[in-house]
Amino acid sequence: MKKKAIFGGTFDPIHNGHLHIAYEALYKFNLDKVIFMPSGNPPHKTHKVITDANVRCKLVELAIKNEEKFEISYYEVLKKGLSFTYETLEFFNKSEKDTQWYFITGVDCLMEIDTWKNVKKILSNCKFTVFNRTGYNIYDILYKKNEVEEKYKEKIEFLNIPILDISSTKIRKMIKNGQEVFYLLPHTVNEYIKDNRLYRSRGTGNVE
């Protein structure tokens, strides 16, 4: 049986921290592939302005183009309506029945998972895998992990790796303020952002 992970996120923009997490998951769980899935219309971010999906997908393509075990999926950006995680997992499980699916997301999602739709279906259709983020206490994470496992009778995987203090929000703000971000991004991504003057103002469909 193959082992693949879906790494979902807005990737606005994708950065070195994302690649760091993907590689750590690849090696820790001995995965065959990590599939980056830019979000389409996530229900928990309907109040936020997000860069056009075509741009975000292009950035992911550039970031992983030379990575043999990384792929991109356009499933959620092409899907009409809201993108619910349980539907995404059901689709991939039906598409590749001989695959054990992992779903990689930040620990912030674990903390609010009870607000997600059909949590039981999500946890039963994948190995739900969370990575730490700045600002979260390890003891609080493990407490919540145990709480969710007990409630839904499903195991949560915790990717306990060194935290890189990089965020897409921080990068967007730095670009808007005219600061250099080349050390936070894959070279190809940084060049594309510069060449297309992304994240400089709302007038070009970018975010502040």
> Tens digits of per-residue pLDDT, 81-116?
888 999 999 999 999 999 999 999 999 999 999 999
Q: Considering the domain boundaries, does residue 176 fall inside one?
A: no
Share of the chain above pLDDT 70, in %: 93
pLDDT tens string 17-56? 999 999 999 999 999 999 999 998 666 555 578 899 999 9
Domain count, the chain: 1
What's the rounded Cα separation, in Å, for the pair 141 and 111?
A: 8
**pLDDT higher than 80, residue 207:** no
Q: Which of 131-140, 173-182, 195-204 has the lowest mean pLDDT?
A: 195-204
- 47 contacts: CB under 8 Å, gap ≥ 6: none
Domain-embedded: residue 172: no
- pLDDT, mean over the chain: 92
Burial 24-61 (b: 16+ CB within 10 A, else e): bbbeebebeebbbbbbbbbeeeeeeebbebebbbbbbb
Question: pLDDT digit string (tens) for 142-168?
Answer: 999 999 999 999 999 999 898 888 999
Q: Residue 142's domain is classified under what CATH number?
A: 3.40.50.620
Q: Which range of residues forms the domain containing residue 127?
A: 2-164
pLDDT bracket for residue 80 (50, 70, 90): confident
